[in-house]
Amino acid sequence: MALPRVGILADDRLQQHLLKSALIHFGFDVVINTDPQRFVLLDQSELQLDAWLVDIRQEDDEENMQWLEQLLDGDVPVLLGLEKAPQKTCTTFPKWEKRLYGKMREIIKVTPVVAEDVAVLDRLNVPTTSPRIPLPGIFANQNFSGKAAAQVWVLGASLGGPGAVKDFLDALPGGLPIAFIYAQHIDPRFEETLCKTIGRHAEYELKNFVAGEVLNCGEVLVAPITDEFRFDGDGLPRSLERAWPGPYGPSIDQVILNVNEYYGQRAGYILFSGMGNDGSEAVMSLSNSQVPVWAQTPQSCANASMPESAIETNRVNYIGDPYQLALQLVNCVKHSGINIHEPIHH
> pLDDT for 213-256, tens place per residue?
999 999 999 999 999 999 999 999 999 999 999 878 899 999 99
Which of 25, 50, 55, 158 is catalytic? The answer is 158
Whether the model pTM is above 0.95: no
The tens digit of pLDDT for each residue in 247-285 reads: 788 999 999 999 999 999 999 999 999 999 999 999 999
Which of 251, 278, 280, 300 is catalytic? The answer is 278
Whether 221 contacts 207, CB under 8 Å:
yes
| Distance between CA atoms of residues 36 and 343, nearest Å | 73
The reply to whether 158 belongs to the active site is yes
Which of 185, 300, 305, 309 is catalytic? The answer is 185
| Distance between CA atoms of residues 39 and 36, nearest Å | 5
Whether 130 contacts 170, CB under 8 Å:
yes
Q: Which residues partner with 152 through β-bridges?
A: 179, 267
* 342 has a pLDDT exceeding 70: no
pLDDT for 126: 73
**Pick from 26, 25, 82: nearest CA to 53:** 82
Whether 30 contacts 24, CB under 8 Å:
yes
Q: What is the mean pLDDT of the chain?
A: 90
| Distance between CA atoms of residues 312 and 85, nearest Å | 15
What is the arrangement of strands in the sheet containing 293-296, beginning at the earlier edge strand?
205-208, 219-222, 178-184, 151-157, 267-271, 293-296, 318-320
CB atoms within 10 A of CB 53: 26
For the domain made up of 119-128+144-336, give the CATH fold. Rossmann fold (3.40.50)
φ, ψ at 13 (rounded to 5°) = -65, -40
Whether 316 contacts 294, CB under 8 Å:
yes
Q: Give the confidence band of 337 by pLDDT, cuts at 50, 70, 90.
A: low
Residues 6+ apart with CB under 8 A from 330: 133, 136, 172, 173, 176
DSSP 8-state code for residue 45: H
The tens digit of pLDDT for each residue in 139-181 reads: 999 999 999 998 999 999 999 999 999 999 999 999 999 999 9
Whether 294 contacts 268, CB under 8 Å:
yes
The tens digit of pLDDT for each residue in 40-90 reads: 788 877 889 999 999 987 776 666 778 888 889 989 999 998 888 988 888
Whether 39 contacts 64, CB under 8 Å:
no
**Pick from 169, 297, 177: nearest CA to 222:** 169
The CATH label, of 3.40.50, 2.60.120, 2.40.30, 2.60.40, for the domain at 5-107 is 3.40.50
pLDDT for 65: 78
Whether 211 contacts 239, CB under 8 Å:
yes
Cβ neighbourhood burial of 92 (10 Å; 0-12, 13-18, 19+): middle
| Distance between CA atoms of residues 88 and 109, nearest Å | 28
Stretch(es) of the chain classified as CATH 3.40.50.180: 119-128+144-336
pLDDT for 61: 62
Whether 256 contacts 279, CB under 8 Å:
yes
Identify the H or E element spanning 154. strand 151-157
pLDDT for 123: 79
pLDDT for 114: 67
Identify the H or E element spanning 182. strand 178-184
Residues 6+ apart with CB under 8 A from 246: 98, 253, 254, 278
